[in-house]
Amino acid sequence: MADQWWWDLTNGRAVTSEERPRDIEALGPYPTRQAAEDWQSTSKARNEAWDAEDERWEGGDPPEA
């Protein structure tokens, strides 16, 4: 079992450290294959939490879209 997993942006799949492409073509490391495959939902949730914290910090409503 691999210790670290990466998301291969070029091929759109989770890979082990042995298969990992160049840094610019990979996201990670992740602790499990599933975590690497879930990178988009993890990133989205993190960004939403940061946006909510920014709004709380600034004390205002979010900007109009």
Nearest Cα residue to 4 out of 27, 32, 24, 25: 32
d(CA 39, CA 5): 11
pLDDT at position 1 over 80: no
pLDDT score of 5 = 97
Q: In the chain, what are the domain boundaries? A: 5-56
pLDDT score of 36 = 97
- Summarize pLDDT for 2-49 with one digit per residue, the tens: 589 999 999 999 999 999 999 899 999 999 999 999 999 999 999 999
pLDDT score of 59 = 84
